[in-house]
Structure 1
């Protein structure tokens, strides 16, 4: 029996079954990771450059885009490097750093969407008090709290696990999944309640705040004019899609970690584990970029200016 001090690395077992397909997977992952950076960075730059977008809603959106890049960076580089690794080993400390980064990113995602839902609630339900409630200082406090809260809760949960005894170091997964690592602990009964508690803090609680905000928005929309109702739907749709996709992705990860390998084919398990990593970072910029007129117009102006600049430079 080994404890955490004796285990120097974890082995990611899923990569050993890829064979020659690893070259195709590497190319697809690298291309997708590059697209995530380009799409999210474009929207971030547009929001920062265009002064008309310096509003609470768009600053919270900018924070969400930063988190998409942060979450992707906590996973994609490791997965890319593991494609051509011989032993598919991840140092013990790196594995825990990745878990903290990934689950903190998921918590930031939920909390950011909760903050954006609250912003829409204030805008639609209390429009006369919007500027007073959602001031620049308030947004800065909200963003700071989101990041501190997310990393603090994730760090506390891993500090509880890191010194426990591990009976194995083989993780049947593409990356260091917290629930699968917890399964390797010899005294698993001590961990379950901690996993559930911190899962509640980082996902269930923010999700509850999102539901409350949109229920109140719905109640107000039912009593307003058709034009105002349509405007509210337009601004809320991207957030509803993001929340729905995030919920589905987390459900996939939850199921994949709790169903044994015998019950699920490898292809299904891989799909469950990477669905959130692939879809969420791209849904966010495209949903907001395509559905919010101000973002769409600002992106067009930004790209046009860059095109003109490069044409002038070339001459």
Structure 2
């Protein structure tokens, strides 16, 4: 018996699959792209797993700052796992159809990855603010219990919001078409395929995005503004130590913010004037650059992680 999909056309015909139209004919180059993406994915796995192991196996790194980093690396493994195996399979295929159930599951994974990434970067800026601006109260302010609660909130908020948006709001829509002009499934493009009222989706999505962005931007600007103020009043050595831990966080946040902005522009504005290759690059940028760049940023910039990783690799 065929399972009935909740996503239907206007004539009540179930939409059992979606067609991804952003794939273009690579010809004999498909194997080159396949191996290049596979090596990139393996590099992401190796670098993120390495840093997770470094933090988990070394007790001197069991501090809030490094535990937040560990959660960040785990989230990047989660996000890349929702994309890269899918891309690798479709590069070698001639027909790019995706079952509706899997398509919405991929949307949930990718969007919850993005939400958790933003939440983690916000928590990391708050943690650095407490450590640098309130060092005497840091241990009492950032206890293991509070750290665990903040981590649970960062993951739980993103998962819950995306459950509501994707399965609660988008899942109730009747779909007129099943064509998605991307190389992976995207919630905003699926909403545009609907022939039913999407007011609730648009209002909830807009309010959720604005509230999150305003909160994140306000907290991060406040945190780094106070940190900069403290650094300007500190000695040279204290300033270098503070900047050594803050610069990687700030670089990671700016990198992810720019990548997310590219993705929002790609989904919400007409980009047909751009070449297909450029549009594919813009849509993949926020999902590939952060998992690849974060281990390099933190591994190279944070001395303690670099030294422990070097010792672990040389021992092996």
Structures share fold, TM-score greater than 0.5: yes
Pairing partner for 2:114 from 91, 106, 109? 106
Pair 1:175 & 2:192 matched? no
Structure 2 unpaired stretches of 5+: 1-7
Q: How is 1:160-309 mapped onto 2 (pairs within 5 angstroms)?
A: 160-187=169-196, 189-190=198-199, 191-201=201-211, 203-306=213-316
Residues 188, 232 of structure 1: CA spacing in aligned structure 2 closer, same or farther, 3 A cutoff? farther
Structure 1 unpaired stretches of 5+: 307-315
Distance 1:188 1:164 in 2: 8
Contact persistence 1:67–1:109 (CA under 8 A): yes
Distance 1:88 1:253 in 2: 21
Pair 1:76 & 2:84 matched? yes
Contact persistence 2:191–2:198 (CA under 8 A): no
Distance 2:24 2:309 in 1: 43
Residues 10, 54 of structure 1: CA spacing in aligned structure 2 closer, same or farther, 3 A cutoff? same
Contact persistence 1:153–1:202 (CA under 8 A): no
TM superposition score normalised by structure 1: 0.92
Residues 195, 21 of structure 1: CA spacing in aligned structure 2 closer, same or farther, 3 A cutoff? farther
State the Cα deviation string for residues 5-58 of structure 1 (Å, max 9, x = none). 710011111124433332222111111111100000000001111111111100
Q: Secondary structure at the match of 2:23?
A: helix
Cα shift at 1:166: 1.3
Contact persistence 1:26–1:83 (CA under 8 A): yes
Contact persistence 2:120–2:154 (CA under 8 A): yes
Cα shift at 1:189: 4.8
Counterpart position of 2:5: none
Cα shift at 1:283: 1.1
Q: How is 1:39-188 mapped onto 2 (pairs within 5 angstroms)?
A: 39-158=47-166, 159-187=168-196
Contact persistence 1:10–1:95 (CA under 8 A): yes
Distance 1:146 1:198 in 2: 15
Distance 1:124 1:20 in 2: 55
Distance 1:16 1:165 in 2: 29
Return 205-214 or 169-178, whichever deviates more: 205-214
Return 229-238 or 61-70, whichever deviates more: 229-238
Contact persistence 2:75–2:116 (CA under 8 A): yes
State the Cα deviation string for residues 175-200 of structure 1 (Å, max 9, x = none). 01122222212246513223212323
Distance 1:188 1:250 in 2: 27
Return 74-83 or 238-247, whichever deviates more: 74-83
Distance 1:174 1:241 in 2: 28
TM superposition score normalised by structure 2: 0.92
Residues 266, 73 of structure 1: CA spacing in aligned structure 2 closer, same or farther, 3 A cutoff? same
Cα shift at 1:276: 1.6
Cα RMSD for the two superposed structures: 1.7
